[in-house]
Amino acid sequence: MNIIITGATKGIGLAIAEKFASEGFNIAINARNADDLKKIKKDFAANYPNVEVLTKKTDMSKKTQVLSFAKFVLSKWKTVDILVNNAGVFLPGEIHKEADGTLESQINTNLYSAYHMTRAVLPKMLKKKKGHVFNMCSIASQIAYPNGGSYSISKFALLGFSKVLREEMKDKGIRVTSILPGATWSNSWKGVDLPESRLMQASDIANATWGAWTMSQSAIVEEIILRPQLGDL
């Protein structure tokens, strides 16, 4: 079984990669930092020796690099069972104050990357009439937060993309799930002075993703909303 996870060297993406590798999935991941990818490949070779790990340095805000990554993976694998569109960037700010180009930057990374990656991978899934696409949305896809600015706009758009894709794929054997996590320990929250229990663990999101995947083909978890027990921050 093969899974592609974009932006998977840290946080939620890495937790999902570790979960699926532990279940025997071959993994294809990308990131902008080549050193991070080398470390992941080394760690996975030690911890999951029977799992194939494909890596490629990729800037997911650039269409040409997104398509290059997809082409690389598809040249190695005949089938793709799962695509997790996880790559994203969070730039806090208010619409009337944020720097010019902030919206474009976050739309490119948080929305267009998922759109182009999905379109590149879908033909493999459609040929098999089976597959699962997970789109890593956010609680910010539903609720406008203070200082959310363009990030929230991009995540609202990603949820819209996911809903449209679900409608288009429902009679073609392809499952589409939107994941909407609240505050989760990742690089975005690095250094925050809060108790560990105040935020969710990345492994919580990974376990929820695995649970949705293991449903029978006649069932689909359309949306997964996860929040810290004590609520949003």
pLDDT truncated to tens, each residue of the chain (233 aa)? 999 999 999 999 999 999 999 999 999 999 999 999 999 999 999 999 999 999 999 999 999 999 999 999 999 999 999 999 999 998 989 999 999 999 999 999 999 999 999 999 999 999 999 999 999 999 999 998 888 999 999 999 999 999 999 999 999 999 999 999 998 877 666 667 777 778 889 999 999 999 999 999 999 999 999 999 988 87
Distances (CA, A) of 36 to 57, 58, 148: 9, 12, 28
Q: What is the predicted pLDDT for the residue at 171? A: 97
pLDDT at res. 191: 67
Name residues whose C-beta falls within 8 Å of residue 94's C-beta, 6 or more positions apart in sequence. 147, 149
Q: What digits encode the pLDDT tens for the residues 125-155?
A: 999 999 999 999 999 999 988 889 999 999 9
Domains detected in the chain: 2-226 (3.40.50.720)
pLDDT at residue 187, rounded to an integer: 67
- Rounded distance between C-alpha atoms, residue 25 and residue 3, angstroms: 7
- The DSSP 8-state label assigned to residue 32 in this structure reads S
Asked whether the beta carbons of 188 and 214 are under 8 A apart, the reply is: no
- Predicted local distance difference test score (pLDDT) of residue 190: 66
Determine whether 151 is an active site residue.
Answer: yes
Classify residue 99 by its DSSP letter.
P
Asked whether 129 and 172 are in contact (CB, 8 A), the reply is yes
| pLDDT of res. 232 | 82
Residue 198, φ and ψ in degrees, nearest 5: -75, -25
Helices (H), the chain: 11-22, 34-47, 63-76, 102-107, 113-128, 149-169, 202-213
